[in-house]
Amino acid sequence: MKCISILIPTYNEEVSLPFLYEALISLMDNYTNYNWEILFINDGSTDSTLEIIKKLRTNDDRINYVNLSRNFGKESAMLAGFDYVTGDCAIIMDADLQHPPTVIPQMITYWEEGYEDVYAKRNSRGKESILRKKLSLIYYNLLQKSTRINVLQNVGDFRLLDRRCINALKQLRETQRYTKGLYCWIGYKKKEVIFNQANRTKGKSSFNLWSLLNLAIEGITSFTTAPLRMATIMGFLVSITAFLYLCYIIIKTIFVGEPVQGYPTLITVILFMGGVQLISLGIIGEYIGRIFNETKNRPVYIAESYNETKL
Ligand code: UDP
Ligand code: MG
C-alpha cells in the first residue's frame, strides 16, 4: 500500500493544531486505501505546540514529529521535513488551515495519473492588504523578467511532491533557501490545482512586511545575478553621460569662456555618482554576503529529536 505523508512546519500554532488535526482525520478516514503519515516539524515554538503534538501522537501512531533545536524559519523547517518524511509522496501544508485539506483528493488523483509535483494555486489571496497584493504582483513580474526559472505567482508551498522530487530537493542544501524557486529548478512533471485561500483561522501570521521583503531579496539573489549586470550597465550609462558632459564643458569653456559658476551642477553630479556607487556596492555586498554564508557550510537546521529519540 502506498504511503502519503503530510508535512507540516509549525511555529507557535497551539491554537490551530486541534482544528487542523480534526480536518486531517476526516480526510485520512476517507482514504483508507493509503497509509498515512503526518509529520510535524516543530520549528522552535515557544508555546505548547510541541506538547500538543506529543499528545496527539500518543493516541495516533500515524503522527511523527521532528523537533528543531530552535526557530530556524519555515524554509529550513521544510528541508528538515524532506529529510525525515517517509511516504511515497509528501503533501506540504501550513498549520493555520489556510491550505484547505479539501484540495488534497484532487492532488492525489493527479499524482496517481503520474504527475510528480502537483501544486496548488490560489485564485484569491484571502484577507490581505492591498499593499501586500500589489507588491507581490510587482515582485513576481520582476523575478519573472530577471530569471530563466519560472517562479509561479500565487503558488506557495502547498503542494504534493513525489518521492523523486523530495529526493531531488534533499540534495539542494543551500543555507539561504528560497524553496519556491527550488521547486521550479528541480523540474519534473508539474500539474496545477486551484484553491481559494482561506483566512488564517487562529493565531496570527508570523510573516510581516519586513520578513517578506527579506524573502523577496532572497528570491532574487539566489536565482539571478541580474542586479549585478544592472549595476554594470548603470555604471556605463553614467560614465558615458559624464564623459559627454565633460566634452561639452571643455568646448564651451574654450569658445565661450566660463565665469566661475556651476556649484549646483557639481553637487548634483557628485550626489548622483555617490548614490549609484552606494547602490552598486550594496548589490555586490548582497552577493558576497551569500558567498560568506554558503562557504561556512553549516547545516541548514539542527534537529533536537525525532519522535521520542534524542538526536
Ligand atoms: N512557520 C514555521 N517557522 C517560522 C514561521 C512559520 O515553521 O519561523 C510555519 C507556520 O507555523 C505555518 C507556516 O509556516 O504553518 C506558514 O506561516 P504563516 O501562516 O505565519 O505565514 P503566512 O501564511 O502568513 O505566509
Ligand atoms: Mg498562514
pLDDT of the residue at 10: 95
As for ligand 1, residues whose beta carbon falls within 6 Å of it are: 9-11, 13, 43, 71, 73-74, 77, 94-96, 98, 200, 205-207
Q: What is the DSSP letter of 103?
A: G
Is this model's pTM higher than 0.85 or not? no
C-alpha cell, 62: 500515524
pLDDT of the residue at 281: 83
* pLDDT tens-digit series, residues 38-95: 999 999 999 999 999 999 999 888 999 999 999 999 999 999 999 999 999 999 999 9
pLDDT of the residue at 203: 66
Report the alpha-carbon distance of residue 94 to residue 195 in Å, rounded.
Answer: 14
State the Cα angle at 213 between 209 and 217, rounded to 5°.
170
Closest ligand to 13 CA?
1
Paired strand residues for 162: 89
Report the alpha-carbon distance of residue 227 to residue 229 in Å, rounded.
Answer: 5
Band (141; pLDDT cuts 50, 70, 90):
confident
Site to probe by mutation for ligand 1, drawn from 41, 96, 197 as the one with most ligand atoms within 8 Å of Cβ, is: 96
Output the CA torsion sign for 188, 197, 9, 18: negative
Mean per-residue pLDDT, 246-254: 81
